[in-house]
Structure 1
């Protein structure tokens, strides 16, 4: 028998109930709807098209747009508008007015491209790096050569070579920057000296900076001994704003300098003067990405002063250690202090300074902190809406953890950036990308993205180089609204309630800082980048796999945790049962003091494998280390009844120690959600009467049975966010005394549970049970092409379902668009409550009508909908409207060498090597036509409705 997927697409079932009112969905709001990144290419926008497109976006179910201005389109140069110019501001205010009228929100990226930078960034405020030279001088001798450093030239551009000799300094003064598409530029020039320090073989240190003349000549004769001189120079990193549009090209700012940040933001104040920008909800930063160029931005003019203030000693006394030339322990400690200083400067001088500026415009900040050379948990925590991206759940959880721990209601995500290569991503692919974000704690997705494309542009219109095109030119736009409704339904729950995780997972940043590398800085991007190979990698993955709800927490955030009985409460009001330290070797003294204070007042602290054994850093080392050791001496561990777990009593609380994290957490009273053993994944939030669960079945098999919950629940409302079916789920108590809920979830399907600790009555959720074997619908089918191109294939009839690329001849092979399949069928035999219509394979999304009545929009990966008997007649008309992808039409353009890749800067690169042409750009010329349409087989399966057997 064909597999049966009982709860799929039962949208019509709610109308069958004659009981009391069913559970209600939370209201869909502007904020619960998905938003999209809105690329303004060349800022070549006009008011008529802005209004037209905003209306289309609103009708498709989007909640808002984030305006990001980027490189332009070839042939549209006369329409380019300089970023932040009066004309640009006029377009912005028109957009804000129209968006407000349509109920749409608007965010704005605070650079034309990324990272922050532009033509108004003077060299003094541009990103910097440190260079150094060493010299050797013996006693009684002088340095014969000048103390100088000539910066090596760099001229890198996107897609072509550039002659540095043809460029003027500073970069922003050059003409035709759109064509140049510069990525990094360093001019050959002498670098200013920051310090010259001399270190003797006897341990003496001398500051010789004042003895260096303007010509670089050192006026100094070495005393007795052998001396090594370290000369530090400040260089211009040369990183340019990536993907910048007209008027936005230029140097990236020095993120470590408050002065540079203030100067940068002041330019926006100047541009905004006289314009109403209050409707802007948030300003946005699209990740750090400074150091993806050569070298790294690892210096700022006030570094020595900031380091002294923050670390308590003079970095100039330890330059050999900074560059890994001293004893190993000193090297690691100085490097750790340097990296921590960089982290704090990025937090305070950039992130917090930017956030404070946004408040002067009554706006929030949305920030992608990942990739920064800093503790990104702290950067996210300083952000109103932390934003993540990617496909790894532990990476995603860095942003959501900071939001949970500090009480931020929203975590956003750049979603579905590169799901596949160009034009190959299905709505079901995007749905899985959305689900992944929701499972990681995101509750505010942003598609990546939607390119502004004027109505006059020829198909495929203006596009962006990332691989999913969320725009009306894409045939999947016909069913895009269904995905948006689904996302809004999910987010309406996940934006409600409070975080409900049990474990705070300590981030051992000091262990990461102390690891040397090829360069001075480390860039943190989830576990994969920065913590790879450390114990926290395996621990965080295990916690996910085993069903433990957890959030990462930083040293700074630990300081804000307070006791709540035996539990813990963070600064944002979230509560946890314990804090787990994943085999940390180094830990700041204040962190250990706070952990033991929490234990003293009743908390349980869990140490995996070992207690931390030392403090990081060099400043006041002996004093800090002595205090640290004294604290550790208070921990008198003794065996427990659980083998492998030791316990030390600390005041009213305790500290647990052992290798097996599952055993440790069990001893701490933490229960895992064993539903993961059934192949489910979950995100859980709490509310006043119970919990919300978002559950996803990513397995290949349908789930049909009782699923355990490890929160108190005597009742549960069940919501299907795709079909919108609701009702009270069947709930029972297991032999172990825990609640179980009956679920039917197809592969790729999700649901939401709203559990209640007390009994709640209401209409029951209607489960579906197959009553007999599937019956095929044999046609014939009438196939009519409705919209799309390059031309509409002729109408035809077919008895056998197959791809329209086969059925419709040459026109069908290159057609991208929408077609309808129509057939008739008699009322099926049997006494069932209805029939499960299974469309079989669909390429790629479908809308189902029976007798002219809509029954559901199906985006996959499974295409089924229940047809109630009351909706059927003796003879029935079934209409299935199918939309495919852009791929076949694009391939036809490439085979005919039609130049649709018309973009400056990054002009449609291919993700996959096999789709790369001789010019390095994407091509679909060699693609065979992708299957399109209703492929079947189409069947009807008799089914009965009712509650499951207990």
Structure 2
């Protein structure tokens, strides 16, 4: 890497990008109540201009090895503070290097006194800086490790099928692994993979002869033997059994206690549990007893039905099995950890989805439900978590953000960040936790250490000087989206009972089953019709009722009778309900009844998702509606609304890579309002009906409606070009000692001397203004839309503006990025006459520089930063063989074939303009 590491708060960060808080915070607000109770546009404006520290983004701070030193810990914390980051989540992961005492590199074993001393130091220094510190209550993920014995490791039920010859009188005994146990032996008619569960009878020897094919089934309770993923040195071991009270208690004692005690008298703000990825965890030794106690019958004789499925009786067993697993993980994992956290004056932040079988309402058992995944128009665990917070009354939804942002490492840009962050905002997230910030030891060659996948936001990133501008944007929007209450109009029922009825070892995930029950086309129909939505499940409805205007039932077969009664009462009280595809016909036990049929028949039903938009429009006016002739923009524009006592706040964003412009009608009862620039807060009047919404690619805007008098409308003057500044620049690469005149703007990679340069280049020139003008903008034109969709993944394909899949675009991998080739590669800080004037990092690349100008000669500098890929591509491949030989293959760097020079510098046209653009 050619650029030096940034260590101090620069002139930029002290002036143009001020950090929010004037004092050091030593405690943080509860997530259950807003920090501010804004009651007017003026108060909202103050919140926007000076967001609280708690709204600043956090970072997942990866400690590799763990090989950390106190001086570097302090320097990185100070850098986070200078960047406008509000805190860090300590995450202990795999080693990056072998011990190298000559260079001061030493892996501190997990939970060793030296490592815990480093944790103590980190939290003490962070507190002094006013930074929040959370801690992951393990190394890597999921929970488990060296202190989890095989008897407390995640369990699984294996089915061994042994064909029996006609003359067989005995079945060969299966070979068991350590700690395996045979829980049932039966004979069934048929062949392996094709046997009839209804013919199951106990395997009793001698076996009577038979003329038909038979199979001996051995149901073996064993262990997944899954190892903790990405573990630090000394943290290796089994993933724990999340259904076992004792397994979780052991982990809390052996791992949780030392980590939390390292914080002394100032506990972490939260302890963290990552996404539940205990793959195949579908059994626990106490399951037969617990099943019998809770469901009232013996599970063991029904294991053939559980595994085979295919009959109503089997679906009932599967349902009861799934429900029991959910209850066990709720009680023994979530509730136990949450109580443990409360007893230690901290909070439990949990990504409550994946495997094992947690449900939507399980999220209410953790203090801080968290999500991830910017799949805006498909099922997403981020929407899963934000919906739970909306339903259960938590004001803050955190999200693991940028997990797969534009691979490989260091390829992600500020524009990529905005493309994902804005989608996260409209899905209800208002506390971003960047994934992430790699600790990097001093003296390590640039670009320093990094996770095997994910973006890097530390000071080794060449465009890092622009990060404070990005962080400030994120903090402002996060703060605004904590004001008031959520106001999504639609609730979508999560068919949990149907998901349970689909369970079969090892397929035991409610969230994983949602792709079969809640289709992207259904969710797109809601969004494209001008509504936003939350999920809710039967348990939440039974406990809390329905507090949305409209309830949508996706194709649902099983539903509790008392839930249908609640829905019926909601409709009688004026609520709106619609079912898609078909009505529920069965209760959770798989039984029909006249009462259930009668209640279900009160719900209007439409045949498919394609007609849902019209049905919703007939039930309630949408919150954001565009004229019929401009309806195509609804596939691109997303929004979220927050309702205040005397105002309605909308965050609106263009999620696409093309400009959009349409006349909007907002569903507020207030008559006046303003629209704000999300970077500067500059206000213009807006009306609920007839407001023109014009957004560049990935641009966003805030609309606030109330009875207050709107900001006075500035006089509109059409945009007019003053000067073309596209030539005559002197470009300096100070790290290379290279400075050359550039008659025309060119790509850095076109010159062999700068092809592999990563860092800063300063574009400088002078220009003359005959007189000072009221408003002058620096504008960089250019930028090209690229094929693709910002919210698409391999699971959810690219979407057309109407929300349907685009057959011309094939997506691979889980990542996302801005599908846009910008005119600045990748971001710039602007100085006018020696004064910092602002940042250019997303469309429209337009900056008001009026107050820095003078009549006569002016000097302008554009400090342009690219990515690390160009310099990285010139380095020899790193040899991980010695590391693998000592510690095993704990990680695989991803997309290394994409580490190659990419276009860099200013590639568009540069103008001075005055006036406004429509």
**Unpaired runs of at least 5, structure 1:** 1-10, 13-19, 152-187, 209-217, 563-567, 569-574, 638-647, 649-654, 733-737, 917-922
Q: Which residue of 1 aligns with 2:640?
A: 683
Does residue 118 (structure 1) correspond to residue 145 (structure 2)? The answer is yes
Q: Using the alignment, how far apart are the partners of 2:893 and 2:97 within structure 1? A: 19
Among 283, 290, 310, the alignment partner of 2:278 is 290
Q: Using the alignment, how far apart are the partners of 1:365 and 1:190 within structure 2? A: 32
Q: Using the alignment, how far apart are the partners of 2:830 and 2:596 within structure 1? A: 68
What secondary structure sits across from 2:394 in the alignment?
coil
**Could you say if the C-alpha distance between residues 710 and 634 of structure 1 is closer, same or farther in structure 2, counting changes exceeding 3 Å?**
closer
Q: Over residues 829-876 of structure 1, what are the superposed CA-to-partner deviations in whole Å (9 max), with x where a residue is unaligned?
A: 897743443365211111112212222111124422123277332111
Q: Which residue of 2 aligns with 1:414?
A: 400
Q: Which residue of 2 aligns with 1:102?
A: 129
CA shift, 1:367, in A, is 1.8
Q: Using the alignment, how far apart are the partners of 2:336 and 2:458 within structure 1? A: 35
Q: Which residue of 2 aligns with 1:818?
A: 760
Structure 1 contact 583–607 (Cα < 8 Å) conserved: yes
What secondary structure sits across from 1:560 in the alignment?
helix
Q: Which residue of 1 aligns with 2:682?
A: 726
Q: Which residue of 1 aligns with 2:83?
A: 60
CA shift, 1:382, in A, is 2.4
Q: Which residue of 2 aligns with 1:565?
A: none
Q: Using the alignment, how far apart are the partners of 1:497 and 1:354 within structure 2? A: 30
Q: Using the alignment, how far apart are the partners of 1:274 and 1:475 within structure 2? A: 34
CA shift, 1:685, in A, is 1.3
Q: Using the alignment, how far apart are the partners of 1:22 and 1:190 within structure 2? A: 60
**TM-score after normalising by structure 2:** 0.81
Structure 2 contact 391–536 (Cα < 8 Å) conserved: yes
Q: Using the alignment, how far apart are the partners of 2:582 and 2:415 within structure 1? A: 45
Paired positions, count: 811
Taking the TM superposition and a 5 Å limit, the aligned residue runs for 1:451-462 are: 451-462=438-449
Q: Which residue of 2 aligns with 1:311?
A: 295
Taking the TM superposition and a 5 Å limit, the aligned residue runs for 1:132-171 are: 132-133=159-160, 144-145=170-171, 148-151=173-176
Taking the TM superposition and a 5 Å limit, the aligned residue runs for 1:5-84 are: 23-26=45-48, 27-76=50-99, 79-84=106-111
CA shift, 1:133, in A, is 4.5
Q: Using the alignment, how far apart are the partners of 2:312 and 2:243 within structure 1? A: 27
Q: Which residue of 1 aligns with 2:38?
A: none
Taking the TM superposition and a 5 Å limit, the aligned residue runs for 1:48-447 are: 48-76=71-99, 79-133=106-160, 144-145=170-171, 148-151=173-176, 188-189=177-178, 191-196=180-185, 231-268=218-255, 270-271=257-258, 272-273=260-261, 276=264, 278-291=266-279, 296-324=280-308, 328-393=311-376, 394-395=379-380, 396-422=382-408, 423-447=410-434
**Could you say if the C-alpha distance between residues 934 and 221 of structure 1 is closer, same or farther in structure 2, counting changes exceeding 3 Å?**
closer
Q: Using the alignment, how far apart are the partners of 1:769 and 1:465 within structure 2? A: 51
What secondary structure sits across from 1:811 in the alignment?
coil
Q: Using the alignment, how far apart are the partners of 1:21 and 1:65 within structure 2? A: 29
Could you tell which deviates more after superposition, 661-670 or 91-100? 661-670
Q: Which residue of 1 aligns with 2:582?
A: 610
Structure 1 contact 718–752 (Cα < 8 Å) conserved: yes
Structure 1 contact 448–466 (Cα < 8 Å) conserved: no
What secondary structure sits across from 1:496 in the alignment?
coil
**Could you say if the C-alpha distance between residues 882 and 612 of structure 1 is closer, same or farther in structure 2, counting changes exceeding 3 Å?**
same
Q: Using the alignment, how far apart are the partners of 1:461 and 1:859 within structure 2? A: 24
Structure 1 contact 839–934 (Cα < 8 Å) conserved: no
Structure 1 contact 845–882 (Cα < 8 Å) conserved: yes
Q: Which residue of 2 aligns with 1:502?
A: 489
Structure 2 contact 624–664 (Cα < 8 Å) conserved: no
Structure 2 contact 685–713 (Cα < 8 Å) conserved: yes
Q: Which residue of 1 aligns with 2:612?
A: 661
**Could you say if the C-alpha distance between residues 98 and 241 of structure 1 is closer, same or farther in structure 2, counting changes exceeding 3 Å?**
same
What secondary structure sits across from 2:282 in the alignment?
coil
Among 519, 534, 558, the alignment partner of 1:586 is 558
**Could you say if the C-alpha distance between residues 222 and 319 of structure 1 is closer, same or farther in structure 2, counting changes exceeding 3 Å?**
farther
Q: Over residues 126-150 of structure 1, what are the superposed CA-to-partner deviations in whole Å (9 max), with x where a residue is unaligned?
A: 11111234689999x996456x432
Q: Using the alignment, how far apart are the partners of 1:76 and 1:688 within structure 2? A: 59
Q: Using the alignment, how far apart are the partners of 1:767 and 1:531 within structure 2? A: 51
What secondary structure sits across from 2:271 in the alignment?
strand
Give the number of the structure whose alpha-carbon radius of gyration is greater. Answer: 1
Q: Which residue of 1 aligns with 2:803?
A: none
Among 669, 694, 698, the alignment partner of 2:651 is 694
Q: Using the alignment, how far apart are the partners of 1:203 and 1:714 within structure 2? A: 67
Taking the TM superposition and a 5 Å limit, the aligned residue runs for 1:816-895 are: 816-827=758-769, 833-838=775-780, 840=782, 841-868=823-850, 871-894=853-876
What secondary structure sits across from 2:513 in the alignment?
coil
Q: Using the alignment, how far apart are the partners of 2:779 and 2:844 within structure 1? A: 11
**Could you say if the C-alpha distance between residues 25 and 196 of structure 1 is closer, same or farther in structure 2, counting changes exceeding 3 Å?**
same
Could you tell which deviates more after superposition, 365-374 or 824-833? 824-833
What secondary structure sits across from 2:559 in the alignment?
coil
Structure 1 contact 844–885 (Cα < 8 Å) conserved: yes
Q: Using the alignment, how far apart are the partners of 2:441 and 2:716 within structure 1? A: 47
**Could you say if the C-alpha distance between residues 287 and 765 of structure 1 is closer, same or farther in structure 2, counting changes exceeding 3 Å?**
farther
Does residue 715 (structure 1) correspond to residue 672 (structure 2)? The answer is yes
Structure 2 contact 724–912 (Cα < 8 Å) conserved: yes
Does residue 798 (structure 1) correspond to residue 784 (structure 2)? The answer is no
Q: Using the alignment, how far apart are the partners of 1:767 and 1:416 within structure 2? A: 40
What secondary structure sits across from 1:284 in the alignment?
strand
Q: Using the alignment, how far apart are the partners of 1:353 and 1:255 within structure 2? A: 11
Structure 2 contact 771–855 (Cα < 8 Å) conserved: no
**Could you say if the C-alpha distance between residues 817 and 535 of structure 1 is closer, same or farther in structure 2, counting changes exceeding 3 Å?**
closer
**Could you say if the C-alpha distance between residues 906 and 779 of structure 1 is closer, same or farther in structure 2, counting changes exceeding 3 Å?**
farther
Q: Which residue of 2 aligns with 1:747?
A: 697
Structure 2 contact 45–681 (Cα < 8 Å) conserved: no
Q: Over residues 308-341 of structure 1, what are the superposed CA-to-partner deviations in whole Å (9 max), with x where a residue is unaligned?
A: 222222212322211217x622222222222222
Q: Using the alignment, how far apart are the partners of 1:900 and 1:277 within structure 2? A: 41
Structure 1 contact 129–298 (Cα < 8 Å) conserved: yes
Does residue 674 (structure 1) correspond to residue 629 (structure 2)? The answer is no
Structure 2 contact 771–856 (Cα < 8 Å) conserved: no
Q: Which residue of 2 aligns with 1:521?
A: 507
Q: Which residue of 2 aligns with 1:7?
A: none
